[in-house]
């Protein structure tokens, strides 16, 4: 993260309750920080809402980000909040255009940290070509939050060729995974209290809108379904796809890539990479006739070197995901109930 | 990954399966003692690859599963009533107690923290001198050295606000308890590799002799497990009984002597209650008198209601290998990982959870 924009001169070096009062301090914080940094025609009006036109079918999505720690290898809560909502829209086949940005700040948050998060938000918006058009800032007392929570809501137009719907999925369709599993979750786990192993694993947080829209341009409705396996991981998403399509899924463990360091960390922590969160990864269910072509396009993408066809839809065992293990055994992949807890020995 | 990929090789697995198929003639029940082995067997789909006349029976080697409900209640009591910082391995916190689990206690405001090592709990005690910190020290022989070290460390550095709530259990007495059950149909055991890495092999020779039963100390990867099963089957087919060590890359005959030294310094062998099984004589560790200031059982008053189990849970029969998880009428219906009746449905090493997550094909066939 390049801190090219210096922190504006403010009277306080930490967030205090006044910054959420709606009065002078709020204005000062917003004018010097948010509005200046993220400026665009709609945001500059500083209204409570934004007024704009959108043509065609529209998709909308919202998500709230409470990640702890707020800074981690490969990103922070700021770019995570932008990329996450952009990606949720991309999974609808939509190009995110406008985002709202809501902050819940905890009294005592360092201004330098807030500024660094804002800079990441700006960089993420620019990278994905979206604008923040309205927002909200609240401050809660110390101990009533966890430094910073962010909500983003996004709106965008659906690609004219997109027909993303689980009901369109057919037996024989191929399932493509866009990259290696479990990077974000393991990055966060390695930061959490008590985990002291050192690693160079970094989060995969990134916007997926451009690659997804380019695939829709080329393959249209042959891209049947898209999902990003965030919380709950790949296993949960595959189960949701199987349930939505009322079909079974066969996958092969050997076709799913996990980076060696991530795999090692999973072994140590007793976690299954299929249940660990990702932030810059997607699963595409595609017509079998275009699967190889989609994979080729993905391989040209800067983050797609490890993309692979991991399995296919089947009329056997409807609503069940069955995996062929590395050694050739077959087993069911179930949804994760609650949080994945590490084993003890 | 070195030391892993070669033990997950599909070619070696296929060759071992072929040899097992060619070797086995009779019908054999082989118990894998350790929950980690159960998990690996199911997760890798090995149960469905073995010949039908080899039945794997899942043993009691899940420390979370055998921790008595009374002790979970005590942990909850410490967290809720004594307001201690209750530190635990992650697996423990969802296990149902009589009233609630530690996870529910946490949601009601108790300070429950998930740790990977008891040494972190000692650090938390140092950072919070005004509060009592208790580590929920469960496990087999494998986790005992680290728990012992935490007490030694606290003792040496003068930390007085740290203690452990112990529920250590031991593998050899559990094997004896299973073998002395008249209904027992186990023909051979896969020994728990990591337990033997700590304790060595000597404890198992008398069991082999007494019950005339093969025991093969076995690792956790697919190739390990199949090698262990093959070695067991060879003994059974030849009418032999010996202690063998498949897990030679980890287990030495004498075990880990410095770990054993730490255990001996802090713990002494004591009778223990096993959840679902009952009391087994000399089957666990308790804290020695010298360190009683670090024994939560002695440090705190437990003024609490009597503990009780859900009577419909059949985990005792499952852990003794009498029934398979999917033969329990509550399996997958009244009892799931989200709403567990008993501990084996919670722990990642519990046989019920392993079947629930990975083995529903068999379940549907059975039901």
Q: Residue B43 in contact with residue A331, Cβ under 8 Å?
A: yes
pLDDT digits (tens, 9 = 90+) for A53-95: 998 999 999 999 999 899 999 999 999 999 999 999 999 999 9
Residue B156 shares a structural domain with residue B219: yes
Neighbours of B43 (CB within 10 A): 20
pLDDT of residue A14: 92
Q: Find the CATH number of the domain harbouring B187.
A: 3.40.50.11740
CB contact A51 to B (< 8 Å): no
Residue B360 has pLDDT above 60, yes or no: no
pLDDT of residue A341: 56
| Least confident interval from B158-162, B176-180, B240-244, B260-264 | B176-180
pLDDT of residue A198: 61
Tell me the mean pLDDT in the region A145-165. Answer: 96
Domain with CATH 3.90.650.10 in chain A: 166-332
Interface of B with A in 196-235 (CB under 8 A): 222
Q: Residue A126 in contact with residue A119, Cβ under 8 Å?
A: no
Residue B291 shares a structural domain with residue B325: no
Q: At what angle do helices B257-266 and B144-156 cross, to 10 degrees?
A: 60
Domain region containing B320: 315-360
Segments in chain B forming alpha helices (H): 10-23, 35-43, 63-66, 69-80, 102-107, 118-127, 144-156, 171-179, 193-199, 205-211, 222-237, 257-266, 296-299, 315-319, 351-358, 360-366
Residue B104 has pLDDT above 50, yes or no: yes
pLDDT of residue B302: 95
Residue B152 shares a structural domain with residue B292: yes
Interface of B with A in 55-114 (CB under 8 A): 63-64, 89-94, 113-114
pLDDT of residue B2: 62
pLDDT of residue B208: 98
- pLDDT over 70 for what percent of chain B? 96
Is residue B327 in some structural domain?
yes
Question: A53-85 as b/e, with b when 16 or more CB fall inside 10 Å?
Answer: eeeeeebebebebebeebbbbbbbbbbbbbbbb
pLDDT digits (tens, 9 = 90+) for B268-299: 999 999 988 889 999 999 999 999 999 999 99
pLDDT of residue A266: 87
Q: Distance from B49 to chain A by nearest Cα, in Å? A: 6
- Cβ–Cβ gap A269/B117 under 8 Å: no
Interface of B with A in 22-41 (CB under 8 A): 36
Is residue B27 in some structural domain?
no
Is residue B154 in some structural domain?
yes
- Cβ–Cβ gap B338/A338 under 8 Å: yes
How far, CA to CA in Å, does A154 sit from each of A48, A67, A104, A130, B54?
16, 19, 18, 9, 57
Residues of chain A contacting residue B194, judged by C-beta atoms under 8 Å apart: 345
Helices (H) and strands (E) in chain B, counts: 16, 11
Reduced to 3 states (helix: H, G, I; strand: E, B; else coil), residue B335 is strand
Residue B105 has pLDDT above 90, yes or no: yes
Residue B339 has pLDDT above 70, yes or no: yes
Residue of B nearest to A275 (CA): B357
Domain with CATH 3.30.1330.10 in chain A: 17-158
Q: B73, B263, B335, B81: which is closest to A337 by C-alpha? A: B335
pLDDT digits (tens, 9 = 90+) for B120-163: 999 999 999 999 999 999 999 999 999 999 999 999 999 999 99
Q: Distance from A164 to chain B by nearest Cα, in Å? A: 29
Is residue B227 in some structural domain?
yes
Residue B209 shares a structural domain with residue B347: no
Q: How many domains does chain B have?
A: 2
Q: The domain A17-158 is classified under which CATH number: 3.40.630.30, 3.40.640.10, 3.30.1330.10, 3.40.50.300?
A: 3.30.1330.10
Residue B319 shares a structural domain with residue B295: no
User: Is 0.80 topped by the overall pTM?
Assistant: yes
Strand pairing class (A248-252; A148-158): unpaired
Average per-residue pLDDT for chain A: 91
CB contact A24 to B (< 8 Å): no
Q: Residue B160 — φ and ψ, nearest 5°?
A: -105, -10
Q: Distance from B246 to chain A by nearest Cα, in Å? A: 19
Residue B306 has pLDDT above 80, yes or no: yes
Reduced to 3 states (helix: H, G, I; strand: E, B; else coil), residue A251 is strand
Residue B48 shares a structural domain with residue B109: yes
Check: CATH 3.30.450.20 for A166-332? no
Residue of A nearest to B16 (CA): A327
**Separation of CA B56 from chain center:** 17
Kindly state the helix (H) or strand (E) to which residue B269 belongs, with its residue range.
strand B267-274
Q: Residue B159 in contact with residue B123, Cβ under 8 Å?
A: no
- Name the more confident of B149 and B320: B149
pLDDT of residue B363: 37
Residue A297 has pLDDT above 50, yes or no: yes
CB contact B8 to A (< 8 Å): yes
**Separation of CA B165 from chain center:** 17
Tell me the mean pLDDT in the region A288-309. Answer: 97
Confidence of residue A337 (pLDDT cuts 50, 70, 90): low
Confidence of residue B312 (pLDDT cuts 50, 70, 90): confident
Is residue B325 in some structural domain?
yes
Residue A12 has pLDDT above 70, yes or no: yes
Average per-residue pLDDT for chain B: 91
CB contact B152 to A (< 8 Å): no
Residue B184 shares a structural domain with residue B327: no
Which of A197, A270, A329 best probes binding to B when mutated, by most B CB atoms within 10 angstroms? A329
pLDDT digits (tens, 9 = 90+) for A224-262: 999 999 988 999 999 999 999 999 999 999 999 999 889
CB contact B45 to A (< 8 Å): yes
Tell me the mean pLDDT in the region B177-183. Answer: 89
- pLDDT over 90 for what percent of chain B? 69
Is residue B25 in some structural domain?
no
pLDDT of residue B316: 85
Confidence of residue B366 (pLDDT cuts 50, 70, 90): very low
Is residue B5 in some structural domain?
no
Residues of chain B contacting residue A263, judged by C-beta atoms under 8 Å apart: 1
**Separation of CA B94 from chain center:** 16
Residue B226 shares a structural domain with residue B323: no
Residue of B nearest to A272 (CA): B43
Tell me the mean pLDDT in the region B350-355. Answer: 86
Residues of chain A contacting residue B336, judged by C-beta atoms under 8 Å apart: 337
Neighbours of A289 (CB within 10 A): 12
Confidence of residue B365 (pLDDT cuts 50, 70, 90): very low
**For residue A151, what is the DSSP state?**
E
Which of B87, B120, B358, B362 best probes binding to A when mutated, by most A CB atoms within 10 angstroms? B358
Residue of B nearest to A262 (CA): B1
Residue B184 has pLDDT above 50, yes or no: yes
Is residue B3 in some structural domain?
no
> Which of B13, B139, B338 is the closest to A337 by Cβ?
B338
- Cβ–Cβ gap A341/B348 under 8 Å: yes
């Amino acid at each position: 993260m390049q801190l090219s924009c210096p922190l504006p001169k403010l009277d306080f070096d930490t967030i205090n309750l006044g910054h959420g009062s709606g009065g002078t301090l709020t204005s000062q914080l917003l004018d010097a920080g948010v509005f200046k940094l993220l400026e665009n025609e709609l945001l500059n009006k500083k209204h409570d809402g934004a007024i704009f036109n959108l043509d065609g079918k529209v998709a909308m999505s919202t998500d709230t980000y409470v990640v702890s720690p707020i800074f981690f290898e490969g990103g922070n809560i700021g770019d995570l909040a932008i990329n996450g909502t952009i990606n949720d829209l991309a999974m609808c086949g939509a190009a995110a255009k406008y985002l709202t940005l809501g902050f819940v700040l905890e009294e005592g948050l360092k201004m330098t940290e807030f500024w660094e998060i804002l800079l990441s938000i700006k960089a993420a918006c620019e990278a994905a070509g979206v604008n923040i058009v309205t927002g909200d800032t609240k401050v809660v007392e110390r101990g009533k939050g966890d430094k910073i929570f962010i909500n983003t809501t996004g709106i965008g137009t659906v690609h004219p060729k997109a027909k993303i719907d689980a009901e369109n999925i057919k037996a024989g369709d191929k399932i493509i995974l866009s990259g290696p599993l479990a990077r974000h979750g393991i990055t966060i786990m390695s930061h959490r209290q008590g985990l002291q192993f050192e690693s160079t694993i970094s989060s995969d947080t990134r916007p997926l809108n451009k690659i997804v829209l380019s695939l829709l341009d080329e393959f249209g409705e042959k891209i049947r379904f898209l999902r990003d396996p965030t919380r709950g991981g790949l296993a949960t998403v595959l189960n949701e796809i199987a349930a939505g399509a009322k079909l079974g899924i066969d996958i092969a463990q050997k076709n799913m890539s996990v980076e060696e360091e991530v795999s090692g960390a999973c072994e140590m922590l007793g976690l299954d990479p299929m249940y660990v969160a990702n932030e810059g990864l997607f699963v595409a269910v595609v017509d079998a006739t275009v699967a190889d072509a989609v994979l080729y396009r993905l391989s040209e993408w800067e983050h797609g070197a490890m993309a692979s066809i991991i399995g296919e839809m089947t009329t056997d065992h409807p609503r069940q995901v069955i995996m062929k293990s590395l050694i050739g055994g077959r087993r069911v992949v179930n949804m994760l109930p609650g949080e994945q807890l590490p084993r003890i020995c | 990954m070195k030391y892993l990929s070669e033990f997950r090789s599909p070619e070696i697995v296929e060759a071992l399966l072929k040899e097992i198929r060619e070797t086995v003639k009779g019908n054999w029940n082989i118990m894998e003692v350790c929950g980690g082995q159960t998990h690996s067997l199911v997760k890798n789909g090995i149960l469905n690859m073995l010949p039908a006349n080899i039945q794997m029976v899942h043993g009691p080697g899940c420390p979370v599963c055998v921790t008595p409900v009374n002790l979970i209640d005590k942990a909850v009591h410490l967290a809720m009533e004594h307001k201690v910082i209750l530190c635990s391995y992650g697996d423990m916190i969802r296990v149902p107690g009589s009233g609630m689990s530690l996870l529910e206690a946490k949601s009601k405001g108790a300070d429950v923290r998930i740790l990977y090592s008891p040494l972190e709990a000692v650090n938390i005690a140092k950072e919070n001198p005004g509060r009592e910190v208790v580590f929920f020290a469960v496990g087999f022989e494998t986790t005992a050295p680290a728990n012992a070290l935490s007490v030694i460390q606290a003792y040496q550095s003068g930390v007085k606000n740290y203690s452990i709530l112990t529920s250590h259990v031991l593998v050899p007495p559990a094997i004896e308890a299973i073998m002395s059950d008249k209904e027992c149909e186990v023909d051979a055991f896969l020994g728990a590799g990591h337990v033997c890495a700590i304790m060595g092999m000597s404890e198992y020779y008398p069991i082999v002799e007494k019950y005339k039963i093969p025991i093969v100390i076995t690792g956790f990867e697919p190739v390990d497990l199949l090698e262990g099963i093959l070695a067991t089957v060879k003994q059974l087919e030849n009418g032999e009984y010996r202690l063998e060590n498949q897990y030679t890359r980890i287990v030495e005959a004498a075990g880990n002597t410095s770990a054993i030294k730490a255990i001996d310094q802090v713990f002494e062998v004591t009778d223990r209650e096993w959840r679902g099984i009952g009391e087994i004589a000399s089957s666990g560790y308790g804290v020695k008198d010298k360190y009683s200031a670090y024994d939560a059982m002695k440090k705190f008053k437990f003024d609490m209601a009597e503990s009780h189990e859900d009577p419909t849970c059949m985990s005792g029969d499952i852990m003794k290998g009498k029934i398979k998880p999917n033969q329990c009428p509550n399996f997958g219906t009244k009892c799931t990982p989200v709403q567990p009746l008993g501990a084996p449905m919670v722990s990642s090493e519990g046989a019920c959870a392993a079947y629930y997550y990975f083995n529903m094909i068999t379940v549907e066939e059975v039901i």
